[in-house]
Amino acid sequence: MIGTVTLNPCMDRTVEIDGFVYGGMNRIKKVRRDISGKGINVALALVQNEIPAIPCGFLYAENSKSFLADVESLGLTYQGVAVAGSLRENIKVLDASKHVTTELNQSGYPVSDQDVHAFIDFFRSFISRVSCVVLSGSVPANVPYDIYRTLVEVSRSANVPCILDAEGALLLEGLRANPYLIKPNLFEFQTAFGVECSEPDAIRDVAKKIISGGSVDIVCVTMGKTGALIVGKDESYFSPALPVDVQSTQGAGDSVVAGFCMAIEQKKGLRDMLRYGCAMSHGSITREGTLMCRKEDFDRYLNQVEVVEL
């Protein structure tokens, strides 16, 4: 069973237009709404690929019933700590003519210190029921930036591999507790570690220095249209992006993480981890909105994904 943590769940409203006009009038072609949040996306991709997964996080009181009903309709069971406030809503503006998405994300309803401590206590129990855990995404207001560091420490104490997918201070603080794997995108990687490199070989060299420092075992950096690379202590691989008809990039990185989790469950090596992650990602970006990769999508792309050693 894979566990995922989403401390800042949301409703994604994707608005599709043709030819976005900044500061002008835009006509909407299509609108869709999807329950989302990085950990929820990971869990959904896994369940749709026959890997048991359970998401957890904060549960906002004002719309908890509809939220839980929507999550259950996806085949997921969401657990966590009930808090005051309402679920945030994010707006994604998809310019279909250019395949470019503009995101307008709410920060999330504030939670109390008591809520944070309650979730940490909940997580101590939750971690005993899973074989791998994913900590991902932003956090609501008033949640300390070392929250992922605390949760990684709990995971390590329970001998459960932890994947950390966060940015900025959340990522850097989490690294201090030595997670198993981190998966920043290129911008997050450059920002967090103060580098400007964008070529796979240069990114690999920086990642190896991070690994040699003892803070993490595996580093994956997703690079959008360029592809993705994964780096371990003794080996590293790069996978170029496939030429596919991109419908939405929402959940692409979460799909990569889901692929990693599947590979870990199946005891695959580093090369296959990247293959699985990229196949899962391609399966998601060819679907609308925040729809995630299904088994038929994963199977379609798995044999198409190319992985080369760096």
At 185, phi and psi to the nearest 5?
-80, 175
CA atoms of 132 and 148, how far apart (whole Å): 15
Instruction: Quote the pLDDT of residue 250.
Output: 78
Mean predicted confidence (pLDDT) in 178-203: 96
Residue 67 clears pLDDT 90, i.e. is over it: no
Q: Which residues does 165 contact at the CB level (< 8 Å), separation at least 6?
A: 38, 134, 135, 136, 137, 182, 183, 184, 253, 254, 257
Q: Which residue has the tokens 């296959």?
A: 272
Tell me: pLDDT of 87 over 80.
Answer: yes
Instruction: Enumerate residues 6+ apart whose C-beta is below 8 A from 264.
Output: 132, 161, 273
On whether the CB atoms of residues 28 and 15 are closer than 8 A, the answer is: yes
What pTM value is reported for the model?
Answer: 0.91
Type of residue found at 204:
R
pLDDT, average across residues 96-113: 88
Residue 35 pLDDT class (50, 70, 90 cuts):
confident
pLDDT (0 to 100) of residue 238:
98
Residue 11 confidence (pLDDT):
87
| Residue 155 phi, psi dihedral angles, 5° rounding | -65, -45
Confidence of residue 34 (pLDDT cuts 50, 70, 90): confident
* Confidence grade of residue 276 (pLDDT, cut at 50, 70, 90): very high
pLDDT at 4: 98
Q: What is the pLDDT of residue 100?
A: 85
Of all residues in the chain, the percent with pLDDT exceeding 70 is 100
Residues in contact with 194: Cβ distance below 8 Å, sequence separation at least 6, in sequence order: none
pLDDT at 248 over 90: no
Average pLDDT, the chain: 94
φ and ψ of 111, to 5 deg:
-115, 165
pLDDT tens by residue, 216-232: 999 999 999 999 999 99
First to last CA, the chain: 32
Query: What is the pLDDT averaged over residues 97-103?
Result: 86
Whether residue 45 contacts residue 293, with contact meaning beta carbons closer than 8 Å, is answered with yes
Task: Return the pLDDT at 183.
Answer: 98
Question: In this predicted structure, what is the pLDDT of residue 249?
Answer: 81
Share of the chain above pLDDT 90, in %: 80
